[in-house]
């Protein structure tokens, strides 16, 4: 199961990196200039650390129902700021992406992050399962998804 998860994560990562860096021929001389800047190292290319940043800046973190309208307004402002930061990062990596492509890539980045977490959790479960019966309680907690374990 961990090997399948790793293969899926690798495939999604490759998809994101390829599509984030793709510049269509229809971009003309601007696209050619951007490709030259990328080849010379002036503009960044997407890598795993960039993907982490894209996922973090695009995620929402609501504080729950407590707090009333003021908290809700702050949450909306924070979500807009995160989305704006996410779009800026994608614009730096590839200014030729359409809005639809950015949203599609954001979804792919979130899927990639989920696969990273799943792969890590499966690795911990495998280690605990092989560690012996004294780790059964810890194994059950990790399997249940409780945070703060391992």
State how far the Cα of 86 lies from the Cα of 128, in Å rounded to an integer: 37
State how far the Cα of 103 lies from the Cα of 105, in Å rounded to an integer: 5
pLDDT at residue number 75: 65
State how far the Cα of 64 lies from the Cα of 69, in Å rounded to an integer: 12
Half-sphere exposure of 70 (CA within 13 A, CB side): 1
Note the pLDDT tens digit of each residue in 49-75: 777 767 655 444 434 444 455 455 556
The answer, yes or no, to whether residue 99 has pLDDT greater than 50, is yes
The answer, yes or no, to whether residue 82 has pLDDT greater than 70, is no
Residue 44, φ and ψ in degrees, nearest 5: -75, 155
The answer, yes or no, to whether residue 129 has pLDDT greater than 60, is yes
pLDDT at residue number 73: 55
The answer, yes or no, to whether residue 9 has pLDDT greater than 90, is yes
pLDDT at residue number 90: 77
Q: What is the value of pTM for the model shown?
A: 0.67
């Amino acid at each position: 199961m961990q090997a399948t998860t790793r293969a899926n994560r690798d495939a999604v990562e490759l998809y994101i990196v390829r599509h984030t860096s793709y510049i269509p021929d229809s971009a003309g001389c601007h696209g050619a200039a951007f490709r030259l800047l990328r080849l010379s190292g002036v503009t960044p290319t997407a890598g795993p650390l960039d993907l982490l940043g894209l996922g973090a800046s695009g995620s929402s973190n609501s504080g729950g129902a407590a707090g009333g309208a003021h908290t809700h307004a702050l949450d909306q402002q924070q979500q807009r700021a995160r989305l704006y930061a996410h779009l800026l990062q994608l614009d730096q990596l590839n200014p030729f992406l359409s809005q639809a492509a950015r949203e599609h890539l954001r979804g792919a980045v979130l899927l990639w992050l989920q696969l990273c977490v799943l792969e890590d959790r499966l690795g911990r479960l495998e280690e605990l399962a092989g560690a012996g019966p004294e780790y059964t309680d810890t194994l059950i907690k990790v399997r249940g998804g409780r945070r703060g374990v391992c």
